[in-house]
Structure 1
Amino acid sequence: MTQPDDTPSTAPSAAPASTPATPVAPAASRGAFDHVMEQFARDYLRDRRSSRRWSLFFRLGWLGLGLFAAWTVYSENRHNSAPTGPHTALVDLRGEIASGGEASAEVLLSGLKDAFEDVGAQAVVLRINSPGGSPVQAGIVYDELRRLKEKHHKKVYAVVEESAASGAYYIAVAADEIYVDKASIVGSIGVLMDGFGFEEVMKKVGVERRLLTAGSNKGMLDPFSPLDEKQRGYAQTMLDQIHRQFIDTVKEGRGKRLKETPETFSGLFWSGEEAIKMGLADGIGNLDYVAREVIKAEDIIDYTTKENVAERLAKRFGASLGEGAVRALRALPAVH
């Protein structure tokens, strides 16, 4: 008979309870992030280097253009100052007479002074094609032209092409003689001040004008306010004074040659042919005629001050350099 085995049987042990693990970022994710940051840093440094290189390139380029412009201007000045034989000196007055323009007093007088100072210049011709402009600029040229004539003992001849009107004629009467084409426009001895009035339009569209001033006449001739009769009278008095100055200048310049009529100083203008009859001009003739027949010096040298390409580049370079300096100063830390 088989006896039961008293050896205790070994029961399978229960699995220990598992403890929840702390989540850890995979190594692959950290590696990808580091790679992105590294790539970003490389791209940023590359862009910065490229920006600095282009900045340096443009600065060197502007420097080169500036040096080229300075060399060109210097070379032209040396050429213009070279001794010349007997000739007729020419200075052009073209376009509107205005400060800062090609027909400003500064530009015209620069050429006129060079022309008078050249010992080879037998006389100076002012060739005019202008509708006029600033009475101040015209007055400056007129006064200086008379001074240069007296100082250098040289005659000045005005040659009118298309027109010598208003301020341009103001300058022309400083010449010893005025020559015109029979179809030139001459005269317009008057003064104007123009503008617009919008007060009725503003009423129709329902716009209110709010103008604050310190001084009862500070808003004088404001185009959006009604015209005050007292202010109109003040402006008219000023225009009459300037007109009187213009008239006196014409009478001084033309002298006994002027055949004054009631219309002479009314602001009208005439053809060159009629201007000669009125004593506003002396004869028919162009630049070549005056140089050949009047001055007796056929060779013509142009002393007109012109802004060439090199000078424009020099101005732009100077402006760019100044702007860069301002930016650099603004970048400096403030001191408090």
Structure 2
Amino acid sequence: MKRLFNRLLPKSWRSTVVIIPVIRLHGTIMPGGQFRQNLSLATTAGLIEKAFSYDAPVVAISINSPGGSPVQSRLIFKRIRDLATEKNKKVLVFVEDVAASGGYMIAVAGDEIFADPSSIVGSIGVVSASFGFPELMKKIGVERRVHTAGQNKAVLDPFKPEKKEDVERLKALQLEIHETFIDLVRERRGTKLKDDPDLFTGLFWTGMKGLELGLVDALGDMRTVLKTRFGPKTQLRLITAPRGFLSRFGLFGSNKGFSAPDIAAAAVSGAIDAAEERALWSRFGL
């Protein structure tokens, strides 16, 4: 409506300022806990919908993520693409430090992907990591007791020796998820992708090499690209969610009360999430 009104005005009265909504999708991708804010459909849907409500020629997305949950990654990807189709808008994605694994899955929601020459992109694969503690349990004299209804209910229990058949079952699941990821990348990137045998092996590359492989479309930063494309008066409008400081920790803004055990359990969960998040970033030297 604003652009239509603008065209009806005399040229000398028309505004030359173009407002581009910007979404920042920064962080690991997993369902958010009470003490940490991660990327998930629940935490990003409102921002995405708000950005697409703007009367703007494109929506710009800044991505900085080492990945995480394949389900949440695909849900975010799908919400972006659904709204892009519904609103008939192009999506420009800009990679900062890293768009790897699930972060790259979200990046391919863009009609064009831009990266810094030193950005990390790719890692099109699936990984599961855990620890095993059976020998530790013996040393400290603790007996693990697990009772199940269903013979496969306790597969890959970290306190029991690993079984070959359990690992094979896990790898079969990983292969299915990996194929879904590959199909999505092929669908979105199409003939831009180079025929490289390492492309879907989980390897990752710099933005410079990613350009050669067809993982990104060009090298550049958001401000420069958008001002070059839409004019020097282009303004970037960061889309944010109104949130108070304490609500970031999940302690307020809810009808639910918190007891000391609740807070202690959430703190432990937050520490585990932080360790997992640190491990994801460290894979890429960050």
- 1:163 aligned to which of 80, 98, 110: 98
Letter aligned with residue 91 of structure 1 = I
Pairwise CA distance, 1:231: 1.5
Pairwise CA distance, 1:134: 0.9
Q: Which residue of 1 aligns with 2:24?
A: 92
Pairwise CA distance, 1:133: 1.2
CA deviation vs aligned residue, 1:58-112 (integer Å, no higher than 9, x gap): xxxxxxxxxxxxxxxxxxxxxxxxxxx6311100001111222342212222111
Q: Which residue of 1 aligns with 2:48?
A: 112
Q: For the residues of structure 2 that align with 1:224 and 1:312, how far apart are their CA atoms?
A: 34
- 1:285 aligned to which of 201, 220, 231: 220
- 2:186 aligned to which of 251, 264, 281: 251
Q: Which residue of 1 aligns with 2:107?
A: 172
- 1:300 aligned to which of 231, 236, 245: 236
Matched, 1:274 2:209: yes
User: Quick one: structure 1 residues 113 and 107, their matched pair in 2 at CA, closer, same or farther if it must change by over 3 Å?
Assistant: same
Matched, 1:323 2:265: no
Find the residue that maps to 1:316 and give its secondary structure. coil
In structure 1, list runs of 5 or more residues that go unmatched. Answer: 1-84, 325-336
Q: Which residue of 2 aligns with 1:62?
A: none
TM-score, normalised to structure 2's length?
0.77
- 2:197 aligned to which of 238, 255, 262: 262
State which structure, 1 or 2, has the greater radius of gyration over its C-alpha atoms: 1
Q: For the residues of structure 2 that align with 1:117 and 1:111, how far apart are their CA atoms?
A: 10
Q: Could you tell me whether the CA contact under 8 Å between 2:69 and 2:102 is conserved in 1?
A: yes
Q: For the residues of structure 1 that align with 2:143 and 2:31, how far apart are their CA atoms?
A: 35
Letter aligned with residue 62 of structure 2 = R
TM-score, normalised to structure 1's length?
0.66
Matched, 1:227 2:159: no
Alpha carbon RMSD of aligned pairs, Å? 2.2
Q: For the residues of structure 2 that align with 1:150 and 1:179, how far apart are their CA atoms?
A: 21
Pairwise CA distance, 1:146: 1.1
Q: Could you tell me whether the CA contact under 8 Å between 2:125 and 2:200 is conserved in 1?
A: yes
CA deviation vs aligned residue, 1:284-306 (integer Å, no higher than 9, x gap): 11110221123446211011335
Pairwise CA distance, 1:230: 1.5
User: Quick one: structure 1 residues 306 and 257, their matched pair in 2 at CA, closer, same or farther if it must change by over 3 Å?
Assistant: farther
Letter aligned with residue 225 of structure 2 = V
CA deviation vs aligned residue, 1:128-152 (integer Å, no higher than 9, x gap): 1111111111111111111111111
Pairwise CA distance, 1:310: 7.8
In structure 2, list runs of 5 or more residues that go unmatched. Answer: 1-16, 259-286
